[in-house]
Amino acid sequence: MGILCKVEDYIADIVIDRPEAFNALNPAITKELGETAAKLAARSDVRAAIIRGGGDKSFVAGADIVSMMEMSAQEAAEFCYSVQSVFLTIERLPFPTIAAIQGFALGGGCELALSCDIRIASTRGRFGLPEVGLGIIPGGGGTQRLARLIGLGQAKRLIFSTEQIKAEEALAIGLIEKMTAPEDLMPTALKMAADISAKGPHAVQSAKIAIDQGYGVNIEAGLSIEAGLCALCFGGGEQREGMKAFTEKRVPQY
Confidence at residue 88, expressed as pLDDT on a 0 to 100 scale: 98
Please say if the pLDDT value at position 178 is more than 80.
Answer: yes
Buried b (16+ CB within 10 A) or exposed e, 22-37: bbbbbbebbbebbebb
211 phi, psi to nearest 5 deg? -65, -50
Q: Classify domain 201-247 by CATH number.
A: 1.10.12
Strand order in the sheet with 165-166: 58-61, 104-106, 126-128, 165-166
Percent above pLDDT 90 for the chain: 91
The whole-number average pLDDT for the span 50-77 is 90
Confidence at residue 68, expressed as pLDDT on a 0 to 100 scale: 84
User: What are the tens digits of pLDDT across the range 91-127?
Assistant: 999 999 999 999 999 999 999 999 999 999 999 999 9
Which pTM does this prediction carry? 0.95
Other CB atoms closer than 10 Å to residue 9's CB: what's the count?
A: 12
Other CB atoms closer than 10 Å to residue 14's CB: what's the count?
A: 22
Q: Do domains 2-197 and 201-247 have the same CATH topology?
A: no
CB 128 within 8 A of CB 58: no
Distance CA 239, CA 254 (A): 10
Catalytic residue annotation: 111, 131
Distance CA 254, CA 26 (A): 39
What does the angle CA 114 – CA 78 – CA 18 come to, to the nearest 5 degrees? 55
Please say if the pLDDT value at position 149 is more than 80.
Answer: yes
Second CATH level (architecture) for the domain 2-197? Alpha-Beta Complex (3.90)
Please say if the pLDDT value at position 64 is more than 80.
Answer: no
pLDDT band at 204; cut points 50, 70, 90 = very high
Please say if the pLDDT value at position 237 is more than 90.
Answer: no
Please say if the pLDDT value at position 189 is more than 80.
Answer: yes
Confidence at residue 107, expressed as pLDDT on a 0 to 100 scale: 96
Distance CA 91, CA 54 (A): 21
Lowest mean pLDDT among 68-72, 163-167, 180-184: 68-72
Using only C-alpha atoms, the chain has a radius of gyration, in whole angstroms, of 19
Distance CA 185, CA 101 (A): 8
The whole-number average pLDDT for the span 12-33 is 93
pLDDT band at 14; cut points 50, 70, 90 = very high
Q: What is the mean pLDDT of the chain?
A: 96
Where along the chain do its domains lie? Answer: 2-197, 201-247
Distance CA 22, CA 105 (A): 10
Confidence at residue 90, expressed as pLDDT on a 0 to 100 scale: 98
